[in-house]
Amino acid sequence: MTSRTDSYRKESGHPMLSQLPPSRMKKGKIVSAEESVRIIRDGDTVATGGFVGIGVPEEILICLEKYFLKTGSPKNLTLVYAAGQGDGQEKGLNHLGHEGLIKRVVGGHWGLAPKLQKLAIENKIEAYNLPQGVISHMYRDIAAKKPRTITSVGMGTFVDPRNGGGKISDITDEDLVELINFDGNDYLAYKTFPINVAILRGTTADLDGNITMEKEALTLESLSIATAARNSGGFVIVQVERVADRFTLDARQIKIPGILVDCVVVSNPANHWQTFEQKYNPAFSSEIRVPVQSVEHMEMSARKIIARRAAFELKANSIVNLGIGMPEGIASVASDEKVIKYLTLTAEPGVIGGIPAGGLSFGAATNTDAVIDQPYQFDFYDGGGLDIAFLGLAQTDSKGNLNVSKFGPRLAGAGGFINISQNAKKVVFVGTFTTGGLTVSIKDEKLVIEKEGSVKKFLKQVEHVTFSGKYAVLKNQQVLYITERCVFRLTEAGMELIEIAPGIDLEKDILALMDFTPIMKQKPVIMDDRIFWSETMGLQEDLLSLSMDERLTYNPDENLFFVNFENFSVKTSEDVRSIESMVEKILSPLGKKVYTIVNYDNFMILPDIVDEYTDMVKSLVDRFYTGVTRYTTSTFLRMKLGDALKKRGAAAHIYESSEQARNALERETTRR
């Protein structure tokens, strides 16, 4: 049986793949852009790499467009891509938006390629919108010749075959998504298919086709796509900015090995910008770290109000995803509040840590901790690695469903939204309450609606389910919806209104502008007034302060009660009563006494509260503690608290370290 590669060599007429004279053979795999696109045959399935304006093989896409317009070939291609690739106008995948050139598109995000959108909406091509992370994973499964990519991602959304299976145009007939069941649980099975041609991008190639990416902002799924094409009997074309001699590249820097690469195209520099917004920023490619004092400051606006309220959901040491657009403002607020260093910001194409870029450089970041391949980032996301995700709010309904993917004739696509929103431990949707001309101001620390938006966002039913409220409830996921004037949370019964901005009229400014009546178990509380201050909110202190629930933990295996009063302050009698009440709540139901360790590092107590506090401690010791040890590095606190406890006949010695306190408790336990 003749292989596809052999067939290409006989039929394509490509100078690299036919019998070449010795002078051409010296070029190795280096060819012109036009020579490379002559590989592509009618009906081929072509996969492209890129993320917004990063890693897009622009030179080759330009040449493919020109070659088709000149010759009418290749035609009826199937285009496959994970992330959106384009500038929303002419660049990226917009070069392929010609009737006849494309027959079918399987894409993760459509918003940046309006020319492809137009073909889909006008039913001139078969069109699918599948989750970005799923397509990213499909490349690996295609490479391994697995028949399906199986995942729960997409359940309950428009991708679910019960809701359309991700089909976008009316002429799209084939089912690419199936519902299956394992061990009593439903999953989605996405059909895999061969990749005939991969069009990718790197920085440097050697004459054997080994590719490095030292100046690229992202590595994306380039290796996975190349492997998928190679193992499908297809071809791999890579655009680079320069060529090196054989055996001169660092083997550890090679991201696509030469055994997978057939053609290398050296690009015109004008078509090899690092992003569609910047020619080259060495900080984006982790070549340098730059001094960053803050993210761009935002003036007070609806966007900043929303970002400020959302920032209250941040927790120290959280791993965070910020979506494009409105959620980007949260990074600005976190920077203003000097808490960004306590978070790890991530982006779906593979960025971990650092300061995210926006606009047509979205996906890049400066001062990153690491940059990994996109499929592995989605492994992390899909498995629940994100503590919290902040995503845009375009339309929502009474069931908590969200639509960010399709609005009448406008096809935005889901991108990584479905993967991220379904699998983050907590998801916060952020957006204005209405859109279309909304103008707000703040007067006397109260929100004023100067001009109401003309378009409602809180609908009876969204037209496209990108996020399923029902599925989120089944997973017990925490979900909030934050606007400039109010906050909702998702419950089993639907959307509950829980907060309202100062100055806002509940009936006129909220309920009258919704197509459904939200649940109100009690009167909504007023949003934190700090959100409407002109100065910073003091979020750092909040972020670093643990709640009492987090400070008091009981380990039943060791019968050990740990009290973490590090960086805690006792200033009032109410503080003392609160501590006593919480300890009683945890220990009373046990019906037995416990061993206790108390961390007093950086603990602060006002002098006039010491006696009341130590009386409370003595009471807890008598009622609940079998043995107790304490520690702090503060000599003064050891003396002050020790003396007060000694007067009350409580165990008075306070150790200098947690290890000493633990050892002392173990000795006491052994004696007992």
User: Catalytic residues, which ones?
Assistant: 348
The closest alpha carbon to 510, from 402, 433, 399, 437, belongs to 433
Q: What angle do CA 312, 313, 314 make, to 5 degrees?
A: 90
The Cα–Cα gap between 174 and 162 comes to 14
Pairing state of beta strands 319-322 and 344-347?
parallel
CA atoms of 392 and 420, how far apart (whole Å):
12
Distance (Å) of CA 561 to CA 272, 544, 564 = 60, 22, 10
Distance CA 249, CA 272 (A): 20
Dump the DSSP string for 194-233. Answer: ---EEEEE-SEEETT--EE-TT-S--TTHHHHHHHHHHTT
Rounded Cα–Cα distance for residues 12 and 32 (Å)? 15
Strands 204-206 and 319-322: unpaired
Matching residue, tokens 């071809």: 235
Q: What is the dihedral of CA 609, 611, 617, 619, to 10 degrees?
A: -130
Q: How far apart are CA 467 and CA 399, in angstroms?
A: 10
How many C-alpha atoms does 423 have within 13 Å on its Cβ side? Answer: 25
Task: Count the Cβ atoms, other than its own, within 10 Å of residue 311.
Answer: 24
**Within 13 A of 277's CA, how many CA atoms are on the CB side?**
17
* Start-to-end Cα distance in the chain: 81
Q: How many helices (H) and strands (E) are present in the chain, helices listed first?
A: 18, 43
Rg (CA), the chain: 30
Strand order in the sheet with 204-206: 242-244, 204-206, 211-212, 254-256
- Stated length of the chain: 672
Residue written as tokens 């137009």? Answer: 118
- Helix or strand run (H / E) with residue 356: strand 355-356
CA distances from 282 to 217, 274, 287, 350, 357 (A): 9, 9, 5, 17, 13
For residues 116 and 46, the answer to whether their CB atoms sit within 8 Å is no
